[in-house]
Amino acid sequence: MNEFAFIFRNDQDPDVKYSPEQMQGVLTQWRDWMGSIAAQNKLASPGNRLGFEAKVLKPNDVITDGPFVEMKEMLSGFIVVRTETIEEAVEFAKGCPVLKMNGSVEVRSIIPTAM
């Protein structure tokens, strides 16, 4: 089996606000989608959501706030799935709720690190 990261991105739109009921509906969609992957024993890691606070470190001790200045999309989180092929991982990604919110899912292979 191979592992693939699903990296979630959303458009940065500070004007978009969800009511508590809408937010509950969104969370239910995410739980159902991830639960269906887990039920097939394909969820390697439930990952995490990523916050807005960020720093970028560059050579010569340069530290900047977030990577957000040039970005039109916000990296919002990730999970890791375990499948035989990237095509199988893409099929799982097609059901991701972020796609209904004008977001995107990047499917990226994970290369194991030998220690």
Give per-residue pLDDT as tens, 29-39.
Answer: 999 999 999 99
Q: Range with the lowest mean pLDDT among 42-51, 53-62, 71-80?
A: 71-80
More confident residue, 43 or 17: 43
The vertex-42 CA angle with 41 and 48, nearest 5°, equals: 115
Report residue 50's pLDDT band, with 50, 70 and 90 as the boundaries: confident
What is the assigned CATH class of domain 2-109? alpha beta
d(CA 54, CA 32): 29
63-77 confidence digits (pLDDT tens) = 887 765 555 667 889
Q: Where are the domains of the chain?
A: 2-109
